[in-house]
């Protein structure tokens, strides 16, 4: 590639980059507007700090505000309590915290796919019920395993 071709190639790449940056800027503005207009539904993912003042990790179920340690807390009566859901995930680890949040979002999407006209309160009630059943099921499985092990050892 000679100098002329190299200069043209670089110029073309810079133009493509500018186009992509403008598109990204428009997407960022749309996301910001969506988050500002969102009727937030809080998800409590559990305690993530080492100090009592650090508190629980909250994210909005709908728009995702609060992910990646972005500050978010909407004090409201409708909170999805996922603190004890998927306890094998360490929410102090950003990647695992995101996985836990996305699992709760997938549960919500599956409910909304089946019942698209649920109110926020009904969605939160169904999610909390599903999460509670999941936690109880795991606890029951642990008890059954312990009982089986103890019978085998006798």
pLDDT at 8: 95
What 3-state DSSP class applies to 57?
strand
- pTM across the whole model: 0.73
Residue with tokens 């539904």: 41
Sort residue 51 into left (φ over 0), alpha (ψ -120 to 50) or beta: beta
Strand ranges for the chain from DSSP E: 42-47, 56-60, 79-81
| Count, residues in the chain | 154
Residue with tokens 């995702």: 64
What 3-state DSSP class applies to 116?
coil
| Alpha helices, DSSP H, located in 38-59 | none
Q: Report in angstroms the alpha-carbon separations of 10 from 19, 20, 22.
A: 14, 15, 18
| Tokens coding 100 | 């836990």
Q: What is the pLDDT along the chain (154 residues), one digit of tens a residue?
A: 899 999 999 999 999 999 999 999 999 999 888 888 888 888 988 887 665 555 778 888 988 888 776 777 766 778 999 998 998 888 888 889 899 999 999 999 999 999 999 999 999 999 999 999 888 877 666 655 555 555 565 5
């Amino acid at each position: 590639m000679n100098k002329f071709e190299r200069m043209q190639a670089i110029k073309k790449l810079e133009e493509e980059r500018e186009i992509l940056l403008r598109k990204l800027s428009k997407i960022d503005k749309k996301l910001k507007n969506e988050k500002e207009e969102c009727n937030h539904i809080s998800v409590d993912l559990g305690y993530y700090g080492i100090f009592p003042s650090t508190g629980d990790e909250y994210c909005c179920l709908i728009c995702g505000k609060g992910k990646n340690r972005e500050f978010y807390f909407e004090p409201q009566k409708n909170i999805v309590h996922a603190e004890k859901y998927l306890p094998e995930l360490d929410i102090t680890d950003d990647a695992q915290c995101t996985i836990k949040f996305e699992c709760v979002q997938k549960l919500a999407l599956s409910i909304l796919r089946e019942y698209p006209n649920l109110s926020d309160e009904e969605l939160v009630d169904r999610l909390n019920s599903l999460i509670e059943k999941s936690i109880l099921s795991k606890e029951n499985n642990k008890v059954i395993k312990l009982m089986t092990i103890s019978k085998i050892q006798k």
